[in-house]
A and B are shown apart, each in its own frame.
Chain A
Amino acid sequence: MIRYLGSWILAGLILSGVGLSAQEDMSLIPAGSYTPFIKGITEEVEVEGFLLDKYAVTNADFLEFVKANPDWSPENVKSLFADSGYLTHWPVNYLNDKDLESNMEPVVNVSWFAANAYCKWKGKRLPTLHEWEYAALALPKNDSDSAALTRINSDWYSRKTAVHAKVGSTYENQYGVWDMYGLVWEWVDNFNTVISNEDSRNNEDAPQGLFCGSASLNASDASDYVAFIRFAYRGSLKANYTTRKMGFRCAKTIK
C-alpha cells in the first residue's frame, strides 16, 4: 500500500511536470506487481507505472488516422499488414461519412500493424501484455466484489451485452479506465509471446500450448477461465489478422 502511494506521489510529480492537461484522455496506472495467469513465469511480475487510454480507439478516431495516413486506408493497405477483413465494417464512401466521423463505437477489424501505427502516430504505443492484464485486474469503481470481473466477462462471452456499444458504456475501473472487459478484445504489443509457437507441444519438456493436456500444466489458476480464454484468443492471432470483435487502445511510458 505504501508502495502504491509512493508510486502515485512520484507519478504525480512527474505528471505535473509534463502538464496533466495533455493527458486528459489517459489514466495513470501506478506501478505494482501481479501474478500472470501463465505458469512458467512463477514469480510476480513487476509493472512500472504507465499511462493508458481511458477508452478504446473509436471509429471516429481511426478515421482521422486514415485520413492523415492514406497508406492505412482500406484501399491501400498491404495484405502483409492487414488481411481482407480490414475495416470492412466501414461504408465504401467512408471519407465523406458524417456518421463515421462521430462514431463512438470502438474500431474493430484492425490488425496489430494498424493498431501499432495508430499509436505511434499519436505519440503513444500499444500496451504490453503485462501492462494490459495488470490494468485490467482493477475492479469496477465502487465495487468490492472480486467476482465482478468474471461476471462481466462471462456475460460478454454468452452475448448478454450489446454487440454494438459505444466506448464508455460498460464499466469504469478503479484507475478510471473504461471497458477493459466486455466491449471488444484488445491488441497488446506482444500479444503472441505466451504461446508464440503452436508446435511447441511437441517439445517434451516445455509444453507451451493452451489446449488439451498442456493447458492443465500451464495455467496458474485453472478457475480463472476468463483469463484462459483471453490468452487462447491471443494465441489464435497473427499480426495481420483482423476480427469483428477486436480493437485496441494505446499506452504511454512515463518519462
Chain B
Amino acid sequence: MKTKNFFYIIILLLAVSGYSCTEQQPERTIVDAEQEVKGHVRAVLTDAPQVPPRITNKSNTKVIVELEVIEKQMRLADGVEYTFWTFGGQVPGKFIRVRQGDLVEFHLHNHPDNMLPHNIDLHAVTGPGGGAEASLIAPGKSAQFSFRALNQGLYVYHCATAPVGMHIANGMYGLILVEPLEGLPPVDHEFYVMQGEFYTSGSYGEKGHQDFDMQKAIDEHPDYVVMNGAVGASSGENAMMVQVGETVRLFMGNGGPNLVSSFHAIGEIFDKVYVEGGSLINHDVQTTLIPAGGSAIVEFKCEVPGTLHLVDHSIFRAFNKGALAQIKVVGDENHNVYTGKEKEEVYLPEGSAIQTISQNKTQKSTKPIAEKSFEERMEAGESLYKQNCMACHMDHGNGIAGTFPPLVNSDFLQARDDKGIGIILNGLQGEITVKGTNYNNIMPAVSLSDDQVASILTYIHNKFENDGGLVKAADVDSWRKQQ
C-alpha cells in the first residue's frame, strides 16, 4: 500500500507541469483557475471527530457539497439543553474535504422548520463574503454557488447572517480542508476537533434549557468552552481511540466566536504543526495558538499508552468550562519512553504555602429546597460528580494512584463521621492514607449548595461500593451549623 501511494505521488509530481518542489516542503502554489475540471463527485461529509477519507482523485474535479442548516435542541452538558443552529445537525458542522484545484459546487439548504435565514462564509473561498452573499436563504429555500479551491489549507466556515456573532455563538461553524495537490502524507488516524464557546442565560452546569445571553457574548464571558459542541462530546466513552505506535493527524478548528485557543495535548508533543492551517510547518510544538475563525493541523505519534487530554491551555476553560477532548492510546508500555509512576515523593509545584484553603468559604444556599429521594439524589449526583469530581477522582472513582485518592470502597471515607461533608465544604490538605496508599495533596473546597453536596455524597457512597445510605441536605446544613 505504501509503495503504491509513493508511486502515485511520483506520477503526480511528474504530471503537474510547472510544479516545483524542494526537499522539505513543496513550494506554495495557487492553482490556475483556467485549468480543466474533469468529472464530478459528491462530497463525503462527516461529523466530528470523524474525517472524510483522503482524496485519491488526482485531477481537478467538480465536488458537489450538500449542506443542510438545522436548528435543533441538543445536549450542551449533562442536564443542560441548548437550541443549537447547525450545519448538518451537529456542532461543529460537517467536515468538508476537497483538493486544491477542485471546483466546488455548493448547495446550502435551510430546513423549512427553521426560524431564521442563514448563509455560509467559507474562508476557503476567494470571492465576496466567502459565499455569504450568494447563499443567504430564508427557511425552506436552497441556494447554490460555485468556487474554485485556489489555496490549500484548513479553513473555517461559518454562518454570516446578522447578527453574525449570535449565529456563530449558537454553533454555526465547521471546517473545510483543501488538500494540497500532492495530498497530505498518510497517517494512521485523522480526527476532527473544533472548539467553540457558549454564552448561556444560566451559569455553568445550571440545569434545563438555556437561552443565548447576548450581553455575556458582548462581554466575552462564556459559561461553556467546549470541544465538539458539548461538554464531554469527545471524551470519556466518546474519546477517540488509537493504538500505541500509530500516527495521528488532528484537524483542529476554533469557531469562537470570541476566544483564541491555546491548543495543547496533555502528554504529547506535536511533531508537526501546520501553523494556522496553512502551508508553513513548525516542528516540536507544545502549544499552538488557534485564532477564532482559524485552524491548525497537528500531527504526532503515540509512543506510549494512556489518555491524551486535548485542552485549551488557557486552562480554566478546560477544567471549569468543558474545553477538553480525549484520545485513548492503548497498547504496550514502552519504558524507554516513559516509565509510568516510579515510587517517589509527591512534589507539589505550587507548594502549600501558596495554595491556601480558607475555612467555610463555600456558599450556603439560602433557598430551602425539598429533600430529594434516593433515586433523585443518585441522578443529580451523577452529573454533579462528573462536573466537579471526575477530573481528579476519575470516571469510575478509582482516582490516580499516588496522586488523587480512589473513592471506590474507600476505608478513609467510610471511617469519617461526617460522611465526607467536611471534605467537600472545606477541602482537604495534607497526608492521608487510603486503602494502604499514602497521599499528600490538596483538594480545594468546592462551592456547592447543601442540596448538591448531599447528592454528590449519596452518589459516591452508593455508586462506588462504599457503605451506601442517603445523605440529606439537612445533614449538610447541620454540619455547617456545627462549624
Query: A residues engaging B (CB < 8 A)?
Result: 85, 154-160, 198-199, 201-202, 209-212, 215, 219, 222-223, 225, 228-229, 231-233, 235-237, 241-245
Contact = CB atoms under 8 A, between A and B. Distances in A.
Interface string B140-180: 11000000000000000000111110100000000000000
Interface string B280-323: 00000000000000000000000000000000000000000000
Contact of B161 (A158, A211, A241): A211
Given A154-B212, A211-B161, A241 B115 contact: no
Given A212-B121, A233-B116, A201 B133 contact: yes
Interface residues of B, number: 32
Contacts of A229: 116, 162-163, 166
B140 A85 contact: yes
Contacts of A236: 117, 136-138, 141, 161
B112 A225 contact: no
A160 B164 contact: no
Given A243-B140, A244-B139, A225 B214 contact: yes
Contacts of A231: 162
B129 A211 contact: yes
A215 B162 contact: yes
Given A155-B211, A159-B115, A243 B83 contact: no
Contacts of B437: none
17 contacts: A154-B211, A157-B83, A199-B133, A201-B133, A210-B162, A211-B129, A211-B136, A222-B218, A223-B215, A225-B166, A229-B116, A235-B136, A236-B136, A236-B138, A243-B138, A244-B139, A245-B139
A48 to B, nearest CB: 29
B128 A215 contact: no
A175 to B, nearest CB: 25
B23 interface: no
Contacts of A201: 128-129, 133
Contacts of A223: 214-215, 218
Nearest to A158: B83
Interface centre among A159, A160, A201, A237 (most CB of B within 10 A): A159
A185 to B, nearest CB: 8
B163 A157 contact: no
B350 interface: no
A243 B211 contact: no
B160 A211 contact: yes
Contacts of A209: 129, 133
Q: Which 7 A-B pairs have CB atoms at the shortest separation, nearest pair first?
A: A236-B117, A210-B162, A232-B162, A236-B138, A158-B83, A228-B163, A225-B163
A211 B112 contact: no
Contacts of A159: 71, 73, 83, 115
A123 B140 CA distance: 31
A85 to B, nearest CB: 6
A233 B119 contact: no
A150 B83 CA distance: 17
A39 to B, nearest CB: 13
A198 B133 contact: yes
User: Which of B73, B128, B139, B212 has its CB near the most chain A CB atoms (within 10 A)?
Assistant: B139
A139 B133 CA distance: 35
Interface in B81-135: 83, 112-113, 115-117, 119, 121, 128-129, 132-133
Contacts of A237: 138
A157 B115 contact: yes
Contact of A211 (B113, B119, B138, B211): B119
B364 interface: no
A222 to B, nearest CB: 8
Among B136, B161, B164, B212, max chain A CB count under 10 A is at B161
B372 interface: no
B129 A212 contact: yes
Given A202-B128, A215-B163, A232-B161, A241 B211 contact: no
A241 B211 CA distance: 29
B209 A158 contact: yes
Nearest to A212: B160
A249 B71 CA distance: 27
Nearest to A215: B162
B211 A158 contact: yes
B210 to A, nearest CB: 9
Contacts of B112: 85, 243-244
Nearest to A198: B133
Most buried by A among B115, B129, B137, B166: B115
Contacts of A244: 112-113, 139-140
Given A158-B209, A201-B129, A212-B121, 11 more contacts: A198-B133, A211-B119, A211-B132, A211-B164, A215-B162, A228-B163, A229-B166, A232-B162, A243-B138, A243-B139, A244-B140
Residue of A157, A201, A237, A241 ringed by the most chain B CB atoms within 10 A: A157
Contact of B115 (A202, A225, A245): A245
Interface string B193-222: 000000000000000010110110010000
Contact of A241 (B121, B141, B160): B141
Contacts of B136: 198, 211, 235-236
A245 B110 CA distance: 13
A210 B129 CA distance: 12
A212 B163 contact: no
A228 B133 CA distance: 17
Nearest to B133: A198
Nearest to A209: B133
A233 B138 contact: yes
A139 to B, nearest CB: 19
Contacts of A154: 211-212, 214
